[in-house]
Amino acid sequence: MNQEFAGYSITRSISGGGMTKLYVAIDAQQTRYVIRVLDSVMAKDRRNRHRFFHGGEVLAKMHTPQRHPNIVPFVKAGYENKTAYMVLEYIESRTLRDLILFREPLLTDNVMIFIRQLANVIQYVHARGYLHLDIKPENILIQPDGRLVLIDFDLALPRKRFFKKLATVSGTTAYVPPETLVNRVADDRADIYAFGICCYEMLTFRKPYEGEKIDQVRAAQIDPKVPPTPIRQLNPNIPVALANIVMKCIAKNPEDRYPDMVLVLRDLNKLS
C-alpha cells in the first residue's frame, strides 16, 4: 500500500484479522484513524465484499441517532483504486486477548467492570435489532481508562425471535455454541454463549474446552457427554453466584442458557 491512501496518510500497520489488513493513518488535521483494507484475495469473492461493507453499515446504525461509547465509531467505507476499505476512529487500546495472555492488573483488578460493560453493549446491539456473532477477546478493545469497546461487526445479522438458519458457520470455533456448529442456527443465545466464554477466560485465563487442535476443541464442544470444566475448579475464589451466571451462559443446551441478555444483566446487577 502507498503512504497516501483515500485522502489519508498511512503511518504504520497493525495486526489485522483473517479478511482484513489494518493501518493507522492521519488526515490533513493530523487526526488518527484506523483503515481496514479487505485482503485482495478475499475481495475476489463477492460474498466477502458484501460481508465487509455490511459490517460498516451495521456499525453506522449502532451510532444512530447517537454514538455509543462501547462500540467503535464508523467514519466511512468505499473503494480506492478497486481496493475495498473502511475508516474507523482510532482507539488507543489493547485487546482483551492481550490482557488475558499477560494477566494484566488492568484486567484482574477490574474484571467485573469489564464483564458488566460487555454485557451492556451486547444487550444494546440486540436491542438495536442485531446479533454480533463474533464476540471474542480479539474483538474487544480495552482503553487505558478501562473503557471497553466492541469491534468487527462483519458477521452481524438481523436478530430474530426464533433460531435463524445461517448460510455458513463463521467465527472462531471456541466462541461458537454447539447448536450453531452442528445445525447452523443462531439466536440471542449464540452471543450469550460467546459472552460466557469471554467471561470464563477473564476469570480463569483458560477456556472451558481446550485442545491442541481446533478439531479437538470442536469435538468437546458439541459432545453432550463432555461438560465444560466448572469455572470454580480453575478459580475457587470466584463467588458462587457469579460462577453460576457464567456456567449458565455457556450451557451446551441452548434451552439451559439465558434466553436474553437482559436477564444476564439482571443477575449481574444482583451481585455485590
pLDDT in tens, 50-103: 999 999 999 999 999 999 999 999 999 999 999 999 999 999 999 999 999 999
Query: 199 and 98, same structural domain?
Result: yes
* Start-to-end Cα distance in the chain: 51
Considering only 121-125, 168-172, 218-222, 257-261, which range has the smallest mean pLDDT? 168-172
Query: 136 and 59, same structural domain?
Result: no
pLDDT above 90 covers a percentage of the chain that reads 89
Tell me the one-letter amino acid at 8.
Y
Res. 167: pLDDT tops 90 = no
Give the whole-angstrom CA distance, residue 23 versus residue 221: 35
Segment 23-30 mean pLDDT: 96
To 5 degrees, how large is the angle CA 28–CA 29–CA 30?
Answer: 90
Check residue 168 and give its pLDDT: 85
Query: 32 and 105, same structural domain?
Result: no
Check residue 1 and give its pLDDT: 60
Confidence of residue 162 (pLDDT cuts 50, 70, 90): confident
Query: 159 and 74, same structural domain?
Result: no
Q: Where is the domain boundary, 40, 61, 89?
A: 89
Burial grade of 1 (CB within 10 A; 0-12, 13-18, 19 or more): middle
Q: Where is the domain boundary, 89, 106, 128?
A: 89
* Most confident region among 2-11, 111-120, 209-218 by mean pLDDT: 111-120
Check residue 16 and give its pLDDT: 72
Query: 241 and 197, same structural domain?
Result: yes
Looking at residue 113, which CATH number applies to its domain?
A: 1.10.510.10
Check residue 157 and give its pLDDT: 95
Point out the catalytic residue in the list 45, 109, 134, 191. Answer: 134
What cell numbers appear for 49 in the block?
465484499
Check residue 2 and give its pLDDT: 61
For the residues of 154-193, what is the DSSP string, one character each?
TT-EE--SSPEEPSS--S-GGGS-HHHHHH-EESHHHHHH
Residues of the domain holding 72 = 4-89
Mean pLDDT of the residues in the chain: 95
Is 134 catalytic? The answer is yes
Element (H, E) at 243: helix 240-249
Confidence of residue 19 (pLDDT cuts 50, 70, 90): confident
Segment 108-130 mean pLDDT: 98
Considering only 1-15, 217-231, 244-258, which range has the smallest mean pLDDT? 1-15
Query: 64 and 14, same structural domain?
Result: yes
Res. 11: pLDDT tops 70 = yes
Check residue 129 and give its pLDDT: 97
Q: Where is the domain boundary, 89, 110, 137?
A: 89
Res. 160: pLDDT tops 90 = no
Confidence of residue 213 (pLDDT cuts 50, 70, 90): confident
Res. 48: pLDDT tops 90 = yes
Q: Where are the beta strands (DSSP E) in 92-236?
A: 94-95, 130-131, 140-142, 148-150, 157-158, 164-165, 185-186
Res. 165: pLDDT tops 90 = no
Segment 151-158 mean pLDDT: 95
